[in-house]
Amino acid sequence: MGTITRGTTNPNRLRRMDRWLVATQAWRWRSAQAPVVVDLGYGASPVTAVELRDRLRPTHPGLRVVGIEIDPERVAAAQPLAGDGLEFVRGGFEVPVPGGARPNVVRAFNVLRQYDEAGVEPAWARVRERLAPGGILIDGTCDELGRLATWIVVAEDGPVSLTLSWRLRGLGAPSEIAARLPKALIHHNVPGEAIHDLLGRLDDGWARALPGWGARQRFIATVESLVAAGWPVIGGRSRWRLGEVTIAWDAVAPR
């Protein structure tokens, strides 16, 4: 299920998401006997699947990463890198993990971005059917070098949260990330919508930070202003220091 996408990628493009995954979500697979994490739609190069395996395997020696692509030529090209906890198969949103295993995590980055918005929820629903108990789908988007990234966590019952992640050095304003919002939100960044309100609040907090502060201190103060304004921020300063903030989905969902 799905269509072939452009497939462009770069080494370390998904490092922000991988770092978050290891730091905040490893509990989802640490107690599993043979956990499976899927890189869905890894693209023309399998580099992101290789990096995902390398970053996650230290958390569980039995963890298996499965790269899934709908383009048979991409799957064939990736096969020389298979082995040692990494394999590649052809498929789409039906998530055909070899052996019929249900994945603990399905990461789909820069995939649904290339679909119509009407196709997002059906794709979410199809993947959710395949998740292991307690599993999640991560639907995300990032720029070509991974400096700006956003992702939605979708659990068995539906979307849970939105995470926004910036490289703080050289950042002009938090709303620069608007062009990298997931497909479910990007067309809703207009007045009257919650995601527009959130980006405006972030820009306001960033602008009000004291002159002379470093980018990290400035960003922490910006997120603290969100919390003070009543936004349901998930996680604490250890994530904010990295230029990252997670918001409960109900606060940003399209109205």
pLDDT higher than threshold 80 for residue 9: no
- What span, in angstroms and rounded, lies between the C-alpha atoms of 117 and 196? 17
Options 3.40.50.300, 3.40.50.150, 3.40.50.620, 3.30.499.10; CATH for 15-166 is 3.40.50.150
Q: What is the pLDDT of residue 4?
A: 52
Average pLDDT over residues 36-47: 94
pLDDT higher than threshold 60 for residue 2: no
Q: What is the pLDDT of residue 109?
A: 95
Q: What is the pLDDT of residues 61-76, one digit of tens each?
A: 999 999 999 999 999 9
Average pLDDT over residues 209-213: 79
Contact 93, 2 (CB under 8 A): yes
* Residue ranges of the chain that CATH labels 3.40.50.150: 15-166
Average pLDDT over residues 38-58: 95
Contact 156, 129 (CB under 8 A): no
DSSP state of 50: H
Average pLDDT over residues 192-213: 93
pLDDT higher than threshold 70 for residue 1: no
Q: Please give the mean pLDDT across all residues of the chain.
A: 94
Q: What is the pLDDT of residues 102-156, one digit of tens each?
A: 999 999 999 998 889 999 999 999 999 999 999 999 999 999 999 999 999 999 9
Please, which pLDDT band fits residue 8 given cuts at 50, 70 and 90?
low
Q: What is the pLDDT of residue 115?
A: 87
Q: What is the pLDDT of residues 77-88, one digit of tens each?
A: 999 999 999 999
pLDDT higher than threshold 60 for residue 6: no
Total residues belonging to the chain: 255
Beta-carbon contacts of 126 under 8 Å, excluding residues fewer than 6 positions away, are: 1, 93, 94, 95
Helix (H/G/I), strand (E/B), else coil: 218: helix
Q: What is the pLDDT of residue 3?
A: 57
pLDDT higher than threshold 80 for residue 7: no
Percent of the chain with pLDDT over 90: 90
50: left (phi over 0), alpha (psi -120 to 50) or beta: alpha
Q: Is pTM beyond 0.85 here?
A: yes
Q: What is the pLDDT of residue 5?
A: 56
Q: What is the pLDDT of residue 61?
A: 94
- What span, in angstroms and rounded, lies between the C-alpha atoms of 21 and 43? 20
Percent of the chain with pLDDT over 70: 96
